[in-house]
Amino acid sequence: MRTLRSKRTMRMGQRAAQAITGGRWFQPGQNLPTAELVINGAFATDTDWTKGTGWTIAGGVAVGAAGSLSALTPTAPVLLTQGNRYRAIFDIVALTAGGVAANVGATIGTLRTTAGHFEEIITAGAASALILDKDAAFAGSVDNFSVREVL
């Protein structure tokens, strides 16, 4: 026996799916959006970050000064799940030297050594922190740090 769905029922289902995903259409197999894990990834204030040596936050960006390998870490604990995949996004808005990488659950992403917009999916190696790691030569600024779980 064949089950027929009316056009009206199909439209209602499409509208519900569209409402759940914020109005965007997603194909099967696409990554659905999840909750933002980074608080103040736009660096609007200096209050939500633990700054390692050479990091400062000013003017809406995180600024790294050359001299030492160090990390920029959110002060609020972020719960990650080992083995889960996360999409890390950030912009290097100015760069004089060195590089910076997203570190998601003790898995360090690609070291970025040019200015630009960067996205990558990183599998968490542990249930630990989200970090922006700079190498000792990094002199530049970073903005719009975002991490979301990939479903």
pLDDT greater at residue 23 or residue 75: 75
**Which pLDDT value is given to residue 28?**
52
99: left (phi over 0), alpha (psi -120 to 50) or beta: beta
**Is residue 64 a part of any domain in this protein?**
yes
> pLDDT above 90 covers what percent of the chain?
71
pLDDT at residue 22 tops 60: no
**Which pLDDT value is given to residue 1?**
47
pLDDT (mean) for 20-38 = 63
Q: Which among 134, 143, 145 is positioned nearest to 65, based on CA atoms?
A: 134
Between CA 18 and CA 115 the distance in angstroms is 35
User: What residues contact residue 130 under an 8 Å CB cut-off, 6+ apart?
Assistant: 37, 38, 73, 74, 78, 80, 88, 102, 103, 104, 105, 147
pLDDT (mean) for 8-34 = 51
**Is residue 19 a part of any domain in this protein?**
no
pTM summary value:
0.78
pLDDT at residue 14 tops 80: no
**Is residue 22 a part of any domain in this protein?**
no
Partners of residue 51 on adjacent β-strands:
72
pLDDT at residue 49 tops 80: yes
**Is residue 20 a part of any domain in this protein?**
no
**Is residue 35 a part of any domain in this protein?**
yes
CATH of the domain at 88: 2.60.120.260
**Is residue 26 a part of any domain in this protein?**
no
pLDDT (mean) for 39-67 = 96
Q: What's the total number of domains in the chain? A: 1
**Is residue 99 a part of any domain in this protein?**
yes
The whole domain housing 142 covers 31-149
**Is residue 65 a part of any domain in this protein?**
yes
**Which pLDDT value is given to residue 27?**
54
Residues 2-33, buried b or exposed e (16+ Cβ, 10 A)? eeeeeeeeeeeeeeeeeeeeeeeeeeeeeeeb
pLDDT at residue 9 tops 90: no
**Which pLDDT value is given to residue 3?**
47
